[in-house]
Structure 1
């Protein structure tokens, strides 16, 4: 069996990305994407899914419901630390900050919410991670200005609260927020890894069940590997971008 090479984790930040799928059973399913700014240090001008780095405070933010057990089990594979809760919180926080969309459950916070969550709490919701499906993991290649160990989560737009076409509460981190048909999305300026993830999502669009295995794109100084996080012996094959 191929051995997974060691990577220097000191320069890599944990991150969560959210893929929101709309009209999945229609003839033209759509995903939510926005464009990063021209001056962004990471992937400038690219169209991406909402997401970002895990903050230290995310581990302490209460969830109305956690990530489901099947996805949690995959999140623990090839991981030296349990970050399940923090990743779920980060996914919901980044979705809210970058799009103004609410993945939550109606309810009141038991105490004062952290500063990053005050606007979310003001909507009358608690963050709810139960709809998140872990569908992809990717580590940014060496040599980039920033590196992330990103977990990609898929949710159905039906899990969101409120008007899913209302982006008025979004920050200015992503511009041109829009629902893009899967059949048209490759016409946009996409990062390579986003194209890979979209191929996975297109194959899963009609299947709402949690994935039996999760792809992982691992980049090290020596090589790039495409893994499948399933069981104790994942398939490992070389992947050339």
Structure 2
């Protein structure tokens, strides 16, 4: 029996979120998300609400993030991901996927956060970094470089095969010491995410969240309880569907 087709707003009928059983599964697009953590007695994370007009997860609260762009893979930056992070990204990944692409996923998370929230996640530098890409050049013009060596990789998730829009998303985490601007100043946000707020983990769990986002919040909580030099040793869960059933392994 075919699945009921659901509109992006949740009304039955017409094209929507779920594919018909007779249709081929959509190939997932590469994407990345950045969880920015403000350390305090009660740690906070940055989240925003997707607009009702979005075709993917409308009205849900999510972390900033988006698709991998070609420029993210080609961008030349001074620092690289740490060896443990690169090793985890490499696990269960096709051999023909380049290091530039894996590094680009972390850069995409930083770029999307800059675009969607206006926050600059970076490390101050005296180097004059140049690129033809307008968004990245705007980022570099603030006198910063991406702090790739301080980015942690905490999870990977692929949208279920029954969805009409699918993403293979890597979830990265960074701490607020690398916020180059006022963390409360998000006036330059693109508007793609609404109601941008710093939320305690208990407050975040009360929101309308995608299932994977709820799981990632638990992963964040587990990681921030570890000493900084121990976090890279914790495996990153990899969640995907095989033969219609959810499968989780560790990276």
After TM superposition, the score normalised by the length of structure 2 is 0.82
The offset of 1:224, in angstroms, is 1.0
Residues 118, 43 of structure 1: alpha-carbon distance in 2 compared, 3 angstrom cutoff: same
Structure 1, unpaired ranges of 5+? 1-7, 230-241
Inter-partner Cα distance in structure 2 for 1:186 and 1:153: 19
The offset of 1:128, in angstroms, is 2.7
Contact 2:117 2:196 in 1 (8 A): yes
Residues 228, 110 of structure 1: alpha-carbon distance in 2 compared, 3 angstrom cutoff: closer
What corresponds to 2:39 in structure 1? 23
What corresponds to 1:127 in structure 2? 146
Inter-partner Cα distance in structure 2 for 1:199 and 1:110: 37
After TM superposition, the score normalised by the length of structure 1 is 0.85
2:72 corresponds to 1:84:
no
Counterparts in 2 of 1:94-133, with a 5 A limit?
94-107=112-125, 108-133=127-152
2:215 corresponds to 1:196:
yes
Contact 1:103 1:129 in 2 (8 A): no
Moved over 4 A (4+): none
1:118-146 CA distances to partner (integer Å, 9 max, x unpaired)? 32122222223122100001000012231
1:150-171 CA distances to partner (integer Å, 9 max, x unpaired)? 0000111112212111112211
> In the alignment, which of 21, 43, 59 is matched to residue 73 of structure 2?
59
What corresponds to 1:210 in structure 2? 232
3-state SS in 2 of match to 1:136: strand
Size of the aligned set, in residue pairs, is: 220
Inter-partner Cα distance in structure 1 for 2:184 and 2:148: 21
CA RMSD of aligned residues (A): 1.8
Question: For the pair shown, which has the larger CA radius of gyration, 1 or 2?
Answer: 2
Inter-partner Cα distance in structure 1 for 2:26 and 2:134: 27
Larger deviation, residues 108-117 vs 173-182: 108-117
